[in-house]
Amino acid sequence: MSLMSAPPLPLLILLMIPVVSADWGVSYSPSHICALKTSSVIMNCTYTYPTGHKIQKVFWTKTNVKDADNEFPDLSVDPEYRQRLQYLGDKQQNCTIRLSHVTQKDQHMYCFRFITDKPDGKWLGHPGVTLTVTDLQVEAPERVTEGHNVSLTCKSSCALTDRATFIWYRNSQPLTERRDRNNQLLLQSVRREDAGRYSCALHGHTYISPAAQLNVNYPPEKTVISISPSEILEGDSVTLTCSSDSNPPAEISWFKGGIFIGSGRIYSISNIRSDHSEEYKCKSRNKHGEKYSDGVTLNIMYPPKSVSVSISPSVILEGDSVTLNCSSDSNPPAAISWFKGGMFVGSGRIYSILNIRSDHSGEYKCKSRNKHGDKYSAGVTLNVTYPPRNVSVSITGSGVIVEGDSVTLICSSDSNPPALNFSWFKENQSSAVGSGQSFSALQSGRFYCEAHNQHGSQRSDAVTVTVSRGLGWHVWLGITVACVGLFIISIIIMFMMRKRRGAKAEDVTVKQDDLYSNVTERGACVSESAICDAAPYASVSFSKPRRDGDRDAEEIQYATVQHHKNKPMKRAEESEDQYDNLRIHQPTAALRRLDVETVEEVSVIYSPVR
């Protein structure tokens, strides 16, 4: 549906004047259109041209600036328009179009363009149709007081046709009785039920204006207090809620016995106590009035609370008399029990300890109990102080040391507070020889320590330290250097002896104990070409005969020498006969030992025989 403005008659005559030049022309009716957002707009148009021309192309454009092809842009190919623009005319006289789903971006002047088959047969109908797109807005007072009259207006940015019918909505529900050709909605003697979100629309259109809130103000009514839980026990959390009906919402104030205690719709009491018992009221107030609730009273029964232990005196010295007092707040009064380290030690509000000792130290608690529950106090610790005792000296290591060394003595004690001052003494000396928990003794004697705190002191038994004479460190250093020197000299001698033995290794026969001597050849092959078929014989005798342990007689040793046949040698120095497999034969007499079977180690001696 096309929505148009209704201009006065003189202006209408001007608007109908066609855009002509001789036989060329374009007429728009109307030339200004006010359209509702998302609606469809019809732009009525007719055109004329000289006889003899044939229309080749028609299109609409929204600019009078030509493109690179020296032509105006065609909206039918524009991506923003081609799906929404429909040409309803023809190629003779009608050039009407429909533009759907218009938005504020479509606000332009639109012109019709046609081209004929003649070289100069082009025409642009400028100025064209001006399109204005509007939405609807509900104009309403921000607040209205109950009983007053109020008027709501459905407004647009441009004048719509007189035939438009307005529809009103409250909270998205249509007010059918409020349909009117007038764009105003009148509410007389407004009630609180009239409050809500109001919007408007045009009949036949889907577009609905944004909603405007209508607030109907009225003073507080029906102010009441509710309590949770209904039965209150001390220690519970209690919630008091004040409710009232008012607009704008009322400010809530709380009063206890007529005294202001807090604000807000909810008043909470955590871990409620007996002193919370009294009458409570709330007051609901806004700018249109105020109202008090009826008073409610909190009646609180509670188990013991605020249980604590006090100690007298505050500083306890061994031997004193000490009193522990348990206090608690409860209804009805509570029975008191005493515990030390979890063990029951007594009853009653007061617990006394006469002539206190260090073993009375520990954590004490009292328990307060009535029919609604029980509660333990926080633990308190009895700190019994006393002077040093059980003072003793310990020795690290042995009490016997070598002259020049030292031994560490450590002083230990039992005291509260711990002993911080220690003095060291040597028997038969009146003045101290050291201080601190440890002491280094350098000389013989009997030593003892004294431990001190603010409550007194005590001395230990004496311990004996003995210093014996011994070699000094410089003597040990000399011995160490001498040993290292002797070791190095031994290594050098052993190396020289090994070197000399290696030099004498070639002369085996003569140098190794002169075992064999006087070797005489019985036969030899002197010819270089002759082959010696028989091994030569030799007479072998010992230069140092062996003797039996029981006899002095010389034992003759026999040897069998196997000769290797040598191949002819060209050089005289290579014509030495080689012997091997030297077997030693001992006579029977050599084996006769004292019931001991002895196998003598056979030394095979190789020697060249010439």
Same CATH fold, 303-382 and 135-210?
A: yes
| Helix, strand, coil shares, percent, the chain, to 5 | 10, 45, 45
The number of CA neighbours under 13 Å toward the Cβ of 232 is: 22
From 444, 376, 367, select the one nearest 404 (Cα to Cα).
444
Each residue of 109-120: pLDDT tens digit?
A: 999 999 899 888
C-alpha 357, offset from chain centre: 51
Q: What percent of the chain has pLDDT over 90?
A: 27
Arithmetic mean of pLDDT, 61-80 = 85
Neighbours of 451 (CB within 10 A): 27
3-state secondary structure of 492: helix
CA separation for the pair 440, 444 (Å, rounded):
12
Contact 284, 294 (CB under 8 A): no
Contact (Cβ atoms closer than 8 angstroms) between residue 141 and residue 217: no
Confidence of residue 375 (pLDDT cuts 50, 70, 90): very high
Q: What gap in Å lies between CA 293 and CA 284, rounded to an integer?
A: 8
Q: What's the confidence (pLDDT) of residue 445? A: 85
Supply the pLDDT for residue 475. Answer: 61
Q: What is the pLDDT of residue 230?
A: 85
Q: For 79-138, write each residue's pLDDT tens digit.
A: 999 899 999 988 888 999 999 999 989 999 999 999 899 888 889 998 999 999 988 999
Quote the DSSP letter at residue 526. -
Quote the radius of gyration of the chain (alpha carbons, Å).
Answer: 67
**Sign of the alpha-carbon torsion through 381, 382, 387, 388:** negative
**Residues with Cβ within 8 Å of residue 479, at least 6 apart in sequence:** none
CATH architecture of 135-210: Sandwich (2.60)
Instruction: Name the band, by pLDDT with cuts 50, 70 and 90, for residue 449.
Output: very high
Q: Is the pLDDT of residue 159 over 90?
A: no
Measured CA to CA, the distance from residue 420 to residue 418 in angstroms comes to 6
Its CATH architecture, for the domain 385-468, is: Sandwich (2.60)
pTM across the whole model: 0.41
Mean pLDDT for the stretch of residues 158-182: 75
- Looking at domain 303-382, which CATH architecture does it have? Sandwich (2.60)
List the chain domain ranges: 9-133, 135-210, 217-297, 303-382, 385-468, 509-591
Model confidence at 178: pLDDT above 90: no
Nearest to 129 by CA among 14, 20, 5, 27: 27
Cβ-based burial of 367 (10 A; exposed 0-12, middle 13-18, buried ≥19)? buried
List, in sequence order, every residue forming a beta bridge with 57; answer none if it has no partner.
115
Architecture per CATH, domain 9-133, reads as: Sandwich (2.60)
**Residue 60: helix, strand or coil by DSSP?**
strand
Q: Are 457 and 451 in contact (CB under 8 A)?
A: yes
- Predicted confidence at residue 604, as pLDDT, reads 45
- Asked if the 217-297 domain carries CATH number 3.40.50.10490, the reply is no
